[in-house]
Structure 1
């Protein structure tokens, strides 16, 4: 059976909403308590208990949303998370650096400086705004649009769009229609859309596909197709497949390191090789070395059989 994949994530129910000072100490800390060790200020006149886990992406979004002006909204990666997109975890590509929460404040809006947030001065129409989980946010298509245009570099933009598509926040058609109405960064978003797919299953898998396309300059692969033998037996789902050459590329993330998952990976690789497919595997550190990725892809493709349709012992079914 294929490994379970979850592109969406439920909004946590145990977040701690910042509160104001309460002279009675009922709805919030007294002024004296707020100055003590058991409370932490999150923004002007807003506090949470000191034992609150403020590293969680959702908690950071909730705290920063308290700083919004009346017509503002959370946007970008943070809004994607509010709408349930699992891979928008508020971390940079290194998996450690926390990204600031983007807050849409309109062209003339102001936001007091805070390393935990960044002001987005882009036209924000009433139709762009929504409320979800008690947070003023943008609608899903605007969340995706801003996540793409605010991403780190062109490849980061494609990765962001892949993950927004995977979570069902928007479609390429909806995004293109929305982009046609936007005065800023339209080309950036549409350029990313030209490389995006709704079938990618992780950010690193998307980066492997971009290395395949842009660095190795190989033909566009099928993304996560199902592979069966001629008798219809399930062999596996390939991250990337060149159906002409018979080349499979696999990204092995952290969840592949358990003994059970490694055994499943090796079993799938053996089944794919038995029907004549060539398999190249990559890990996270590999993707940091594009020259290595290119070399291994090209070497693997040189070993491929390039069987014709009638000679293949396998059938690829494109993801839908």
Structure 2
């Protein structure tokens, strides 16, 4: 039996299949893939995230929308959208949950919903605020950093939302995450590294700072930077072998220009306190070194060095004229 044209693009229900003349037996052939209970898709369609979300989307209630990490993925963020699929529905709707779908009941006004890439989804601002109000401050800040860096939202919009939502559920958690957010952060692990330092009550480092040598030549962009002590703190991902030589040359150039570089990995982040201790000790050593240098320069400035040394007269030994007989005397 030929494939009905309307089934070559999207998943469909058993009822829709029967309306198109397909029987239950025909749906059990290799031409069709079961997506969920009572829902199928043509096997000619690529079985990917979009197909899975389109299948779930067909069963969304009229006023429901994809939200959370699922919405973030639809808006273009590099997150896992289906672990689980997140959906928000208005509180007053009676909707049954489904396997693999996390159903959230919350206020969902029309202004917080949009259509993007064919999906009914929470707006970028609502999505960012939902993610930023989760109980885990680190992961909430990671999500906000990703949204800010991608241009999905900006700090002004987030601050306006926080200021206008006093007393709302989760607003204290969101306010905390917004206060920690850094739009220049370029990766989730970089954000986690920065927050590890802040949690240890170290000064907040600057993010993504261009570094130059004394002639002004660009050397590198630091993940995190302490300007007061010229300390670079970086996260090392799983670098390929072809990146090893350029990375070593880059680090050598920084060291030769007077910067000190500390590099950490995911393993360091998993060992509680390791990173903060090393950074604290290194900062303390650099601060002591800088203080000693300033003190030395101060004393040198207070003690002028003169090249006109005074002449020192040494007393001459007494000369006796009572020379012994036969002793030669100079004329």
The two structures have a TM-score, normalised by structure 2, of 0.76
The separation in 2 between residues aligned to 1:52 and 1:282, in whole angstroms, is: 43
Q: CA shift at 1:70, angstroms? A: 0.2
Q: Give the conservation status (yes or no) of the 8 Å contact 2:206–2:225.
A: yes
1:53–1:248 Cα change, 3 Å: farther
Residue deviations 1:40-88, cap 9 Å, x none?
433453223468665x554443333233100111111111221122x22
Q: Give the conservation status (yes or no) of the 8 Å contact 1:226–1:237.
A: yes
Task: Give the RMSD, CA atoms, in angstroms.
Answer: 2.7
Larger RCO (alpha carbons 8 Å, 6+ apart):
1
1:237 aligns with 2:221: yes
The separation in 2 between residues aligned to 1:109 and 1:266, in whole angstroms, is: 59
1:198 aligns with 2:183: yes
Structure 2 counterpart of 1:88: 79
Structure 2 counterpart of 1:118: 102
Structure 2 counterpart of 1:295: 277
Structure 2 counterpart of 1:3: none
Structure 2 counterpart of 1:75: 67
Task: Report the number of matched residues.
Answer: 280
Structure 1 counterpart of 2:11: 18
Q: CA shift at 1:124, angstroms? A: 0.5
Match of 1:187 among 163, 168, 172: 172
Structure label with greater radius of gyration:
2
1:286 aligns with 2:277: no
Q: Give the conservation status (yes or no) of the 8 Å contact 1:250–1:279.
A: yes
Residue deviations 1:215-269, cap 9 Å, x none?
2x21111101111123221110100001112211111123xx2122222222221
Structure 2 counterpart of 1:154: 137
Q: Give the conservation status (yes or no) of the 8 Å contact 1:76–1:147.
A: yes
1:135 aligns with 2:127: no
Match of 1:63 among 55, 62, 84: 55
Higher helix share: 2
3-state DSSP class of the match of 1:290?
coil
The separation in 1 between residues aligned to 2:46 and 2:284, in whole angstroms, is: 51
The two structures have a TM-score, normalised by structure 1, of 0.78
The separation in 2 between residues aligned to 1:50 and 1:259, in whole angstroms, is: 40
Match of 2:245 among 263, 273, 281: 263
Decide which moves more: 260-269 or 233-242.
260-269
1:134–1:264 Cα change, 3 Å: same
Q: Give the conservation status (yes or no) of the 8 Å contact 2:209–2:225.
A: yes
Structure 1 counterpart of 2:41: 48
3-state DSSP class of the match of 2:13?
coil
The separation in 1 between residues aligned to 2:114 and 2:159, in whole angstroms, is: 21
The separation in 1 between residues aligned to 2:121 and 2:267, in whole angstroms, is: 35
Residue deviations 1:198-218, cap 9 Å, x none?
011111110000001102x21
3-state DSSP class of the match of 2:180?
coil
Residue deviations 1:257-287, cap 9 Å, x none?
2122222222221111111211111112221
1:47–1:167 Cα change, 3 Å: same
What residue ranges of structure 2 are gaps of 5+ in the alignment? 1-7, 295-331
1:296–1:187 Cα change, 3 Å: same
3-state DSSP class of the match of 1:253?
coil
Q: Give the conservation status (yes or no) of the 8 Å contact 1:240–1:248.
A: yes
3-state DSSP class of the match of 1:225?
strand
Q: Give the conservation status (yes or no) of the 8 Å contact 2:11–2:51.
A: no
The separation in 1 between residues aligned to 2:90 and 2:236, in whole angstroms, is: 41
